Structure 1
Amino acid sequence: QIVEEVTASIEAKGLQQPLCLGVDADGGVYLTDGHPRAIALMNLRVRHFHFQWFRITGRRARIEHTPFPYELLDR
């Protein structure tokens, strides 16, 4: 039911809160926040959307303001 509500919201108002992606030291990419939004976007076949990302290094994580390393998705 949550995904249906989120889908309806995105259809009506667009994506209001960006997804959050984490990139670990090995280059693995993880969705860390926004799972229902991600499913709704996939169901709606939305190909471009806003997101924030951060690097996970050791015990720290920091939000990045540099372009996302899209080449990691091609592995």
Structure 2
Amino acid sequence: MSRYVGTLPTRLLNDDAIRPGSYPTWGHAARDFDSRSKDRKVLAGLMESLPQGQRKPILLGVDDRYHDIYVSDGHHRALALLKLGIADFSFRWCWLRAWSVDHQSERFPYHLLGL
């Protein structure tokens, strides 16, 4: 069975709904990327390519204990989507368990976002 792919509003990529997994806030992620030339180049490339369509879904991780939702892979893509004002983004998802990451083919638990 193939992995689930869904679509969510980009506005949910914020410090309350879908947080950056590797950073305390999206502002921290943006500042960190802006401070490194390699990350600036990646973002610039995405700013050019994303208006033609998002090819690779963002990976969302759902904590199985508290049900917090994080970007597990795709921080650069998420920031580029936000900067461009693109309305929706595609995603895959996984459960973040204590000892494993479990990629899912079942429907995303949209109720965790209040949707």
The two structures have a TM-score, normalised by structure 1, of 0.84
Q: How much has 1:47 moved relative to structure 2?
A: 2.4
Q: Map of 1:1-75 to 2, 5 A cutoff?
A: 1=40, 2-11=42-51, 13-25=52-64, 26-74=66-114
The 1-side partners of 2:105 and 2:49 are apart by 27
The 2-side partners of 1:55 and 1:47 are apart by 25
Structure 1: gaps (5+ residues): none
Where has structure 1 moved over 2 Å in runs of 4 or more? none
The 2-side partners of 1:42 and 1:73 are apart by 18
Higher RCO (Cα < 8 Å, 6 or more apart): 2
Q: How much has 1:32 moved relative to structure 2?
A: 0.7
The amino acid across from 2:57 in the alignment is P
User: % of aligned pairs identical?
Assistant: 33
1:22-65 Cα offsets, whole Å, 9 max, x none, are 00121010101111100111112222221110001220111111
The 2-side partners of 1:73 and 1:29 are apart by 8
